[in-house]
Structure formats: C-alpha cells, structure tokens
Copies of this chain bind each other. A is one copy, B any other.
C-alpha cells in the first residue's frame, strides 16, 4: 500500500489541524461512559474544543444540531445511552448528513450484547471507528494485516486500531503511528479521550483520514512528552493534557514517527 505522506508532512498537517481546533473551537458532543466523561472533557478543552455530554432524550437532538462532531462511545451500555445514541444518529441522518461521528466500541470483546449493538452502529456509517485489536476482532474482522483496509473499504469508514502502533486506514491509505507511551495504557479513558480528539480534528478537516492521523499523532507525541516529565500514571494523566495544550509545530516535527 502506498505511503502517501512523509512523517514531517503529517507532522505539519497535525500542527495545522491543532491550530484550527484552537481557533475555531469546534463543539464536540460526547455520548460516552461515566468513567470517561471528565477526562474526555478536560482533554477536549485543553485542545481548544467545546465538549458537551448530555444523553437526555428531550435535548440530545438540540445538542447534536448545534455540535460540529459526535462521539459515540459504548463504555456505559445502559438503555438510556442506547436510546440517546439512536436519537443522536437520527438527528444527524435527518438534518446534518455531513456531520462527522466517531464510534468507539469499548470492551465489545467482553460482551456479546455490546458487540451486536456495535455491528448495528457500523451500518449507520461512522466516519471513523477507533478501537483496539481485541475489539476489532470482536467485530468479526480477520486477524491478517489487510483486514483493517478491507473493513474500511467494505464499510466506507476510517479504521483506527490503537495499540503499540496505531494503524489508520481508509482502505487506500494506511499509516502506522509509532508515537505514544506505555503509561497511556494505565490512565483510564485515555482511548476514549483520544476518540474525542479525533472528533475535534474531524470537525476542522474534511479529509477524515488526515484528521484521524493528526489526532492520534498529537496524542501520542503528547504522551511521550508527558512521560518524560511524569514517569508514573497519576501525574502523567495531568501532564499529557498539558503537553497537548502546549503542543507546537516544532515538537510535532521532531517527534512524529509514522511509517
């Protein structure tokens, strides 16, 4: 598969997209689990986006109507959230067909009911599906290296499989992002917050593959910077927010590692 962007080029694109988030302050509505809500909101605020989190049925369509991107995270899988997801996607389908949304199918490898629900959501056309390898397998995907690209083409979506390297593909283009820090796995909701950052990037960049790369590169680089200053997970959780807040083009250029 053709590598279409050199790392330094992607670093610059990430810097551009971060700058646009800061200047445009996109509104990201997050239907997300209660564990992740506060951390996700703080990461979005540090990046310059405006989070909202309601799942109330009376008002979610209003919030989605005034938002620029939507996050659908399955980490809290209660009936009220499932209905809220349906209302939010209905609002997009009827009124804002071009509004980007990201599906984060948390822990579907632990729960058949959740995996079934996630497969239904993929049929409704998420812009991006961000998940880990076990969750990707729970969607019925094969384990070979071409599976993400096939899945992306079949479902007309971006697949972002995060892990030691983050794989991002739209079926044609593919990157493996080597940035990040092991401590990111020891902070709850880091993946969820990363999916929210993808939403913020999608809100300011029409090329969803580039936007997804930008968000994951920025978060990975922020993780590396933070781990150097705070080598344990408690303080690291705050430092990565600060590293994202202070992220600049020079740091992205010096650190981006993409193949």
Query: What is the interface of chain A, defined by CB distance below 8 A to chain B?
Result: 33-39, 41-42, 45-46, 51-56, 58-59, 62-63, 66, 75-80, 107, 110-114, 185-189, 232-235, 237-242, 245-246
**Which of B35, B45, B112, B235 sits near A37, CB closer than 8 Å?**
B35
Shortest distance from the beta carbon of A199 to any chain B beta carbon, whole Å: 16
**Which of B35, B58, B66 sits near A38, CB closer than 8 Å?**
B35
Q: Which residues of B contact A112 (CB under 8 A)?
A: 59, 62
Asked if A76 and B51 sit within 8 Å, CB to CB, the answer is: no
Asked if B62 and A77 sit within 8 Å, CB to CB, the answer is: no
Asked if A77 and B63 sit within 8 Å, CB to CB, the answer is: no
Q: Tell me the nearest residue of chain B to A60, going by C-beta.
A: B111
Asked if B41 and A54 sit within 8 Å, CB to CB, the answer is: no
Q: Which residues of B contact A240 (CB under 8 A)?
A: 234
The 3 closest A-B pairs by CB, nearest first: A234-B241, A232-B242, A234-B238
Q: Which residues of B contact A53 (CB under 8 A)?
A: 33-35, 75-76
